[in-house]
Amino acid sequence: MSLPCVCPVISYLHFRVMFLLLLVAVVSLVLEKQQKRGFVSERKMKYVLVTGGVVSGLGKGVTASSIGVLLQACGFRVTSIKIDPYLNTDAGTMSPFEHGEVFVLDDGGEVDLDLGNYERFLDLKLTRDNNITTGKIYQSVIAKERRGDYLGKTVQVVPHITDAIQEWIERVAQIPVDGKEGPADVCVIELGGTIGDIESMPFIEALGQFSYRVGPGNFCLVHVSLVPVLNVVGEQKTKPTQHSVRQLRGLGLTPNLLACRSSKELDDNVKEKLSQFCHVPSSSILTLYDVPNIWHIPLLLRDQKAHEAILKTLNLRGVATEPNFKEWIATTKVYDKFHESVRIAMVGKYTNLSDAYLSVLKALLHASVACNRKLVVDWVPAENLEDDTSKEDPDAHKAAWALLKGANGILVPGGFGDRGVQGKILAAKYARENSVPFLGICLGMQIAVIEFSRSVLGLHDANSTEFDPKTKNPCVIFMPEGSKTHMGGTMRLGSRRTYFHVADCKSAKLYGNAHFVDERHRHRYEVNPDLISQLESAGLSFVGKDETGKRMEIVEFPIHPFFIGAQFHPEFKSRPGKPSPLFLGLITAACDRTVVAASKGYNTKLPKGILGSHSPMLKAHNGNGFKSPNSSLNGVYTSTTANGVCVDGSC
């Protein structure tokens, strides 16, 4: 009697169950697709920490950048943070001899050079907060204490400093730096220094707490260590790495991967030994051995399946794609096949330390790749060009001038202080009078104006007030808004706009006939606006100016094949595959041929006639430099004459 009533109920329930199952399946499918594209806001941020042990200078920055490239190739968005344990609030007041170049960001942040590596490798636009220093952390904690934010509690390293570090990391990791909306998927953190340094202890403690705070599956630790090979026995020694990992574990951090720097690939028995004593699977022990150029490092990591180990640790294997390195491999292979070279004389103050000009070297490298040439850098100490050196050290004087005259192009980078200034002026004079392609950056532009004022205008005492405050003909002066009492962060810093005032000048054409460009600045002095009309009447052309029209940004000597000075630093925005237009112009002029660069931004096809008729003879590197198994680790060959050194070749 009740059957007619039961069947409709069963059918209705069956329909609802089927509908709910179908709805769940559709929602799961949509969420899976969104997750693969990185659109799920609920997904927790993943963190990869890169630490270093045994000695400094192992290449943590390049390793961190390469891990970022690997994760990007697997379809993830990446951001980066560099931790520097020094007490300085930023790198702005530090000598290049202390810490290499000061890299400048769009927002005016003066940061560690490793952030330049991150920007170049990953094509990011980082902020000043992506560089954490002990000074910044303590400054923020003390400011909170002064405001009474701690409600009368005793302020201590633990928990207040360590909490501040963790909060800073979590906050900055959420800032999009790749031009897209929303936070990235993975944040790669590099801890500067080596494990055991006393100044890094608060950060080690904070990161140990942080790994527990974010939870398993959201934190991966990669430890970069040294496995030396003793020449006496030719054996790879694991003991330094064992001690480093033991110390790291004692501080509350356990590595998930080991990245071992060595001159050659690790033997299998060495991996097994490291695995046994460091408690890391053999499959997660990587070898970072010497390679022809630094672009091979991400490929090394891929070939050793580093991405699989990292993705497994971070529970991302289900949403990752196979790493796509098509463009990266093409660039690496093409560069390895270059035979013809282009020689650039780098006339500077810090020629004993290539890291002082790291971004300039990378910009030259990017441009030379676009021109299909092997880059050879001849380091020319500026003071060795001066007349005083000809009396004190005639051999050094002769060698410096030989390098300058043998180069296809001359570059004078930025700098501070009066040491070597006269030598830079002589280099600019030689380039101008002998039609040698010349690029002056920041101070390089200023000395070009000084040289022109002396040689052409006849103002023999013309100078910058930086070098001679009492000069009667100041052609470079201190900026009105600058501070003469405080050094840090008081310069004209960051991205500023330059407007072209001469439409058919070489610089505008190099920038694709743009009306204006945004480039990064770092300077206290500028060309004296009161001398502009006199200089232009004599032949110089100030083709680029700021929005007021009173601050000179780009100067050219129109009758010269290529003679350009820029007050800004174009090297900071150069990228592999997208070379800085001014650097591309210099290299192209040195090669004397038209080139089309694979650029995403500016039109870098140089119009006919832009470079004039100068035709320098290109010669193979012939004894003034070296080409040993390690000579091109960066893809840059350098002269050993005049204190030349081989530079690190990160892009």
Give the active site residues. 442, 569, 571
- How far apart (Å, rounded) are the C-alpha atoms in residues 414 and 419? 13
Contact yes or no for 93/87 (Cβ under 8 A)? no
CA dist 170 and 159 (Å) reads 16
Q: What are the angstrom distances between the C-alpha of 121 and each of 74, 221, 331, 376, 514? A: 15, 20, 13, 22, 26
Q: Is 474 left (phi over 0), alpha (psi -120 to 50) or beta?
A: beta
Task: Write the secondary structure of 256-276 as one string of H (helix), E (strand) and C (coil).
Answer: CEEEEEECCCCCHHHHHHHHH
Of the candidates 247, 441, 210, which has an alpha carbon nearest to the alpha carbon of residue 344? 441
Which amino acid is it at 488? G
Sequence-distant (6+) residues with CB within 8 A of 217 are 313, 314, 315
Pair of tokens at residue 390: 């000809």
Beta strands in 455-568 (DSSP E): 463-464, 474-478, 492-500, 516-523, 525-527, 541-545, 552-556, 563-566
Let me know how long the chain is: 651
Place of tokens 């993943």: 46
User: Taking Cα atoms as reference points, which of 19, 74, 20, 7 lies closest to residue 46?
Assistant: 74
Sheet holding 474-478, edge to edge: 463-464, 474-478, 525-527
* 452 alpha-carbon distance from chain centroid: 33
Contacts (Cβ under 8 Å, ≥6 apart) of 459: 453, 473, 475
* Token code pair at residue 483: 């501070």
CA geometry: angle 620, 623, 625, nearest 5 deg: 85
325 closest CA partner among 600, 633, 69? 69
User: Torsions phi, psi of 315, nearest 5?
Assistant: 55, 45
Q: How far apart are CA 328 and CA 332, in angstroms?
A: 6
Which residues are within 8 A (CB) of 443 and not within 5 positions of it... i.e. 6 or more apart? 412, 413, 414, 415, 416, 424, 523
Contact between residue 347 and residue 429 where contact means Cβ atoms under 8 Å apart:
no
Task: Measure Cα distances from 179 to 312, 359, 370, 649 in Å.
Answer: 28, 22, 25, 26
